[in-house]
Chain A
Amino acid sequence: MKYLWLAAYTDIIESLRARWFMVYAMVFGGLVVILFAFGLAESRIMGFTGLSRLLITYIQLSMAMLPIFVLITTVRSVAGDREAGVFEYLLSLPITLSAWFWGRVFGRFFVVFLPVFLAMLGATAWGTVKGVEVPWNLLFYYSGLLMALAWCFLGIGMLISTLARSADVAQGAAFVVWLTLLLFLDLILLGVLIQEHLPPETAVAIALANPMQVFRTATMMLFDPQLVLLGPTAYVILDNFGQLGYIAYAIGYPIVLGTACAGLGFLMFKRSDLP
């Protein structure tokens, strides 16, 4: 365990000094600043105003950006480290492969989640200073969802990094995965599939298997509890899960998927050439 935390700590130190982290932190921090600057905290939509409105917008933007950021930075740095000879050297030191791999996963999770969370926390702190009411339930709920989403794509990223032998291939594969998930986020595409006589259950299953769609639906749920925006699919979700059940699913499923991908990545890492 000591070596696992040591590997995690080392990865955090490495990441904090890397250029990608600067860009990543600036994007998410900058996003909150921009939302404030454009007065989103003062605007009103569907009855939401103040910080709730800002957080909803922030979370919607995060859904589009976080997965691709996590995927690309993970595969670039992990596969890039392998290519550059970092693995060759650090894995010549007496560390077990499990401590090394999971240490990197936990360290990286901390690094990818931290800026997103801090940006959200910063917005809340600023809102408090300004005397705006803080929507604590929304903050905790969104933090949980973001955590689950970040973990999910981190796991997928680690799996891709293990399978791909070069940083370029890994980056290409990560992009294809993200694009595919994004494509199935499109309800129009699902509508076309149903029109082409795909059973509606399959379309719903695709939507429930897509972590981005799960996240999207879960974020909608707080400001649209009946999921009116989602159309008939809402009946399937609400009938089968209920509101609380779906929230639990939206947090649990991405965590399970991310862990399964990272676990599979670890098995392949253990059984293949390391550098």
Chain B
Amino acid sequence: MIQFENIVKRFRRHQVLKGINLTIERGHRVALVGSNGAGKTTLIRCLLGEYICEGKVLVDGMNPRQARREVLSKVGFVPQLPPPLHMPVGQLIRFSATLCDTDPARMVSVAGKLGFDAERFHNQPFVKLSGGQKQKMLIAIALGRESELLVMDEPAANLDPEARHIFFELLAEKKDHAAMLISSHRLDEVATLVNRVIEMDQGEVVLDDRVADLVELSSRLYCRIRLLQPEAAFAKAIGEWGFKDADSGLVWEGAIAGPDRLRFLGLLSRYAALLSGMEISEDEDLESDLQRESSISVV
């Protein structure tokens, strides 16, 4: 689907991309990782036809610079930093939907699934939304249309755990017929989302590897965490993941999105000394167990 053939990009004398050769097919979910200045954003901009570069960039055999409408109508793009647009949310949706020949209601619906009521914020300038709301809006615009290539720069960074789960579910719907290019500084942020990792360093591809594709994007893990003693900092941190206190701050229960497991374990590792027990399972038994216990506690 995407071909980069010997891509070289220079800014004056500084060579930012040094002969990139890559092929990405439909169904590939690629983590594009590397430190600042590695060339990730430049490569993405070449792919979107925003930068002139040496070599060939082809999307389904078309040059994104010359066949902008044909190529970009297949591409859903979520930038890392939301643009400071003054136009109201409703106007942004109408503008994007008209350009993408899609129904604005689809974008509104995706935003709703992510927990952002676009109708309520219809007249609110985009720039005045919170970081999370902006991110949800941009994801809704990228996913609420017929996109075959998703290009996302740290797309889930500002999302709450529930929105992340929905976001992963939406990606799962597209995973077989779309290619995804997810850029991140850190592999652990995106590792479980992808089946291929491309690492860049100083304008070159230094690693291109397929990874085990065992985690279902739409899966959920049900968790019960036991602590040695209640801890306010832990309560605050786990509360942000939507976990509920089941026993005076000693037992915490909740669910996380499957692809979020690494991030979640990263959080737990910070409180390792506090842990006395932990159950994590995709098994629905634990879920019904948790639900039963919570209904008993309500009674």
Q: Which residues of A contact B (CB under 8 A)?
A: 2-3, 6, 10, 13-14, 17-18, 84-97, 271-275
Contact = CB atoms under 8 A, between A and B. Distances in A.
B148 to A, nearest CB: 13
B77 A89 contact: yes
Contacts of A3: 98-99
Nearest to A11: B87
Given A3-B99, A10-B87, A13-B91, A88 B69 contact: no
Interface string B83-127: 111111001000110111000000000000000000000000100
Given A89-B79, A92-B77, A95-B99, A14 B51 contact: no
B91 A85 contact: no
Contacts of B100: 93-94
B84 A91 contact: no
Contacts of B86: 13-14, 17-18
Interface in B137-195: 138, 151
Residue among A2, A85, A94, A274 with max Cβ neighbours from chain B (10 Å): A94
Contacts of A6: 95, 98-99
A203 B142 CA distance: 58
Given A6-B99, A274-B50, A274-B51, A97 B81 contact: no
B73 interface: yes
Contacts, number: 83
Interface residues of B, number: 31
B79 A272 contact: no
Given A84-B83, A88-B83, 14 more contacts: A13-B91, A14-B86, A14-B87, A85-B84, A87-B50, A90-B85, A91-B50, A93-B96, A93-B100, A94-B68, A95-B72, A96-B69, A274-B51, A275-B45
B263 to A, nearest CB: 26
B99 A85 contact: no
B48 interface: yes
Contact of B68 (A17, A89, A95): A95
Given A6-B95, A84-B83, A92 B75 contact: yes
B52 interface: yes
Contacts of A14: 85-87
B87 A13 contact: yes
B85 A88 contact: no
A84 B84 contact: yes
21 contacts: A6-B99, A10-B91, A13-B88, A17-B86, A17-B87, A17-B125, A18-B86, A85-B83, A85-B84, A86-B84, A88-B79, A89-B83, A89-B138, A91-B50, A92-B72, A93-B96, A94-B71, A95-B68, A95-B72, A96-B68, A274-B50
